[in-house]
Structures are given as C-alpha cells and as structure tokens.
Amino acid sequence: MSAGPVQGLAAVEQEIARACQEARRDRDSVTLIAVSKTFEADAILPVLAAGQRVFGENRVQEAKAKWPPLLESHPDTALHLIGPLQSNKAKEAVALFDAIHSVDRESLCEALAKVLPASGRAVELFVQINTGEEPQKAGIAPQDADAFIAACRDRFGLTIAGLMCIPPVDEAPAPHFALTAKIAKRNGLAKLSMGMSSDFATAIAFGATHVRVGSAIFGHR
C-alpha cells in the first residue's frame, strides 16, 4: 500500500466537499468521523497532525487503551463510540466518548440515564435504527423507532441528538438512508449518522450530518 492515511484523509475530504456541493449543502453541515478502530497511534498521529479532530472507535476497551495519551497531546479531539455498548460499560463510555451512536435498547438507556448526570459530561446520543431488520444486527426496528425515541425522552430523560444506521452490505444504501432521514424528521431529530467508506457521498445526498469513514482513510483492516 503506497498511499497512507494522510492521503486517504485528503481524498475523503475532497469527496465530501464534492458531495456537499452537489447536494447544495455547506461543507460545515457534515462532520467527518475518522474511524480508527484496529489502528494504533502510529497510524492515528499523522491524521491528527493533518488537522482531523473527530475519531470513531467501536470498542470501549480498545479506545481506553490507546486514546488517553493521544487526547492529552490533542485535547480538542472528539471521540465517537460507533459500536455496540454493554450497559455495564456505560460509565466508562461516558467518561471517554463525546458521542454514542449505538443507543439501541431500554436497558442501555437506563444505564446511561444513571451515569450521565453524575458524569457532568455532555454526550451526544444517537439511536441506532436497524433499517434492514437484520436479525444479527443491533438497532431498533423501523416500526418501533417512534416509541423507542419517545421512551428515551419521557421515561429515561435522555436527550437524543439523532439517528444512526448501517445498511445491509448487499443492498443499495439509498433507501436505508432515506428511511432513517424520514424517521428522524418525524421525530424532530436534527442529526443523521450514516455513510461509510463505500457510500458516504450517497449518505450526504440523503442528509447525513455525520459520516463514519474508516478504510478509505486508514486502509484495509
């Protein structure tokens, strides 16, 4: 592999700018989350040096092991948890992450409601929607989304910022992005976490405010 993560980041930035222009959106309306899971500090440091300040990880333990020194040297960095969260790790997650994209069940809401106020931290929460209704995938089924979002607010007192989805790998992503955007709109949610390396430009056309891009920046895992 000749191109490194800094070239990958530049290429992704260029494609985001193009997709925003095509969709007549401000570049500032899309946050790029550089997904650094499985990569070590030696791969992440050049991306930090290039100015990227929002990163995604899918495991609490992995993030805890590698990010503290990087955050100390780059304190203006935001970390987003994009993978599943066990309720018993909610406290650790809230201490480390600025956003959690995988709110997907009431027991997790309960755990977050318990630890968030005492943490004194503002953590942006996204409800994960299982748009493809895939049994092996986390997330709330589309038909249960409105009731779940209402429960987050009314029963658990959580502020939900937006929705997240991961379309099935073998399907066109556009209908899944459209469905997620529609559920967000009717629930008054402004943020949409959707789009990965293979489909972030499409996601931007459908209103993504957060794109989660790993391999297009860091290379294959």
Ligand X SMILES: *Cc1c(COP(=O)(O)O)cnc(C)c1O
Min. distance of Cβ 73 from ligand X in angstroms?
24
Which residues, 6 or more positions from 59, have their beta carbon under 8 angstroms from its beta carbon?
37, 83
User: In the numeric block, which tokens belong to residue 136?
Assistant: 């092996």
Q: CB nearer to ligand X: give 102 or 187.
A: 102
Nearest residue to 61 via CA among 96, 17, 107: 96
Shortest Å distance, C-beta 199 to ligand X: 9
Nearest residue to ligand X, using CB?
214
Residue number, 35 or 163, with CB nearest to ligand X:
35
- Choose among 23, 77, 83: nearest CA to 51: 77
Smallest distance from ligand X to CB 174, Å: 17
Which residues are near ligand X by CB under 6 A?
A: 35, 37, 58, 82-83, 166, 196-197, 212-216
End-to-end CA distance of the chain: 12
At closest approach, how far in Å is the CB of 89 from ligand X?
A: 16
Q: Which amino acid, one-letter code, is at 45?
A: L
In the complex with ligand X, which residue's Cβ is closer, 6 or 113? 6
- CB of residue 100 to ligand X, shortest distance in Å: 12
Answer for the pair 164, 174: CB distance below 8 angstroms, yes or no: no
> Closer CB to ligand X, residue 105 or residue 153?
105
Nearer to ligand X, 17 or 169 (CB): 169
Alpha helices in 23-100, H assignment, sequence order: 41-49, 60-73, 90-96
